[in-house]
Each structure stands twice: as C-alpha cells, then as structure tokens.
Amino acid sequence: MSETAVKIDAKLVKELREKSGAPMGDCLKALQEAKGDMEEAFVVLRKRGMASAAKKASRTTNEGSVGTYIHAGGKIGVLVELNCESDFVARTPDFQELLRDIAMHIAAADPRYVRREDVTAEDIEREKEIYRAQAASTGKPPAIIEKMLEGKMSKFYEEVCLLDQPFIKEQSHTIAQIISTRVAKLGENISVRRFARFKVGDPNWTVATTAQTASEEPTA
C-alpha cells in the first residue's frame, strides 16, 4: 500500500461513500487520487460516474417501474415511469429510491418536458423571439445578442426540462447527474420514459414523454 493510501482515514472513505453512493473501494481510490481532499474526490467520482453512464446510454431499457408521489395533502399528484435493463435492478432499493426522488422532484419543480430534445419547435422559437426582443432593446451588436440568447435558452431548458433541473434535495446536481450516479452504481442504463403531474383546481396539467416514446405510441 502506498504512503498516500495509508494516510486516508476510514472515516473519510465512509463519508464519501454516504455522499456519493459509490462503492467503498472506488471512494478509497478517489480519495487517494485527490490526496485526501473530499470535494476533489467527489469530483473524481462524478466524472467516472458520468463516463460510466455515457457508455451505457445506448443500451435498451425495457424494464423498470412506475412510481407515484402525492404532495400537499393530496393537492398535487405525480405518476412517473423509470426504466432500466432488468427487472432485478428495478426491484432494488436504490432504483426505487431514485424513482421516489424523481417523482417528488417533479411534484415540486413542475417540469414540462423530460429532455431538451422533447421541447417543441414552437416553444423554442417563441422563447427565442422573446429573448431576442429583450436583448435587442439593449442596443448591443448582433454577435453579442446571439451569445445572450444562448445563455437565456440554457436557463429556459433548466426551468422546463426534467433532466436539466437542479435536484431539489441537492441543488448542486441536476436530475441527469443524479441518474448517472445510480447508473454507475447499479451497472445498468436508467432513463425516464414519461411522467404526468396533476394539481387540484389547476386547469393545466403536464403529461410528458420522451420523443422516442411518443413515436412508439399507437395511433388512433
């Protein structure tokens, strides 16, 4: 064992394990690489988790589970379908916890779409026109206006797309990053297929599906 490894306190490993959900061995290696720096070690694990998730992103997710969340004394209800690759993983506590967390997040954050790719062309163009008009009023040159537009659209996606939203229980992570952490831990691709959100007395409700899911729905 290296000198650096000897200096890693077991309490640090346990703390990083609880924070990241990563296996103990990976937490130890990350702390060794980060020379005991907790935050840096967490970044190392996140990078590895994202890389691991990217490798699995193309794998088919035909299993999974449907979860619900009822909030505010029955005034808000959410139904969400979370998919994975096997029924075994779908039944694990980690997967079910993720499902509950996502349903709870949807109840609180009220996203309108699952992913950026699902936002309609009409919504995108409407937002761009609004932001262009706002930017033009500043008198800035077109090149600067386009840069401002990029920033505004990024913020728009963060507000309306589930995967881009900061997780309500951990604002430093997006829903996409939270899912990627579980992908790395469980070893299977995980994806949100669709969700519905209802609020008592509100004439508007949200039913969101991924573009791929919508294309698979039977036509009347």
The tens-digit pLDDT sequence of the chain (220 residues) is 444 444 788 888 887 776 666 667 778 888 888 888 888 888 887 777 655 555 566 676 789 999 999 987 899 999 999 999 999 999 999 999 999 999 999 999 999 999 999 999 999 999 888 888 887 777 777 778 778 888 888 899 999 999 999 999 999 889 998 998 898 888 889 999 999 999 998 887 888 888 655 445 444 3
Tokens 């699995």 identify what position?
Answer: 56
What is the structure's pLDDT at 150? 82
Please say whether the beta carbons of 97 and 64 come within 8 A.
Answer: no
> What CATH code is assigned to 3-56?
1.10.8.10
Residues of the chain with CATH 1.10.8.10: 3-56
What is the structure's pLDDT at 31? 87
- Predicted TM-score (pTM) of this structure: 0.69
Please say whether the beta carbons of 136 and 204 come within 8 A.
Answer: no
Q: 84: burial class by Cβ within 10 Å (0-12, 13-18, 19+)?
A: buried
What is the structure's pLDDT at 16? 78
What is the structure's pLDDT at 88? 94
What is the structure's pLDDT at 69? 96
Please say whether the beta carbons of 56 and 188 come within 8 A.
Answer: yes
Tell me the C-alpha distance between 99 and 69, whole Å. Answer: 10
Fold adopted by 63-116+161-216: Tetrahydropterin Synthase; Chain A (3.30.479)
Tell me the C-alpha distance between 62 and 25, whole Å. Answer: 31
Please say whether the beta carbons of 106 and 70 come within 8 A.
Answer: no
> What CATH code is assigned to 120-158?
1.10.286
Residues of the chain with CATH 3.30.479.20: 63-116+161-216
What is the structure's pLDDT at 1? 42
Please say whether the beta carbons of 61 and 187 come within 8 A.
Answer: no
Strands 191-199 and 206-209: antiparallel
- Helix axis angle for 142-160 and 121-136, nearest 10°, is 130
What is the structure's pLDDT at 162? 97
Please say whether the beta carbons of 28 and 53 come within 8 A.
Answer: no
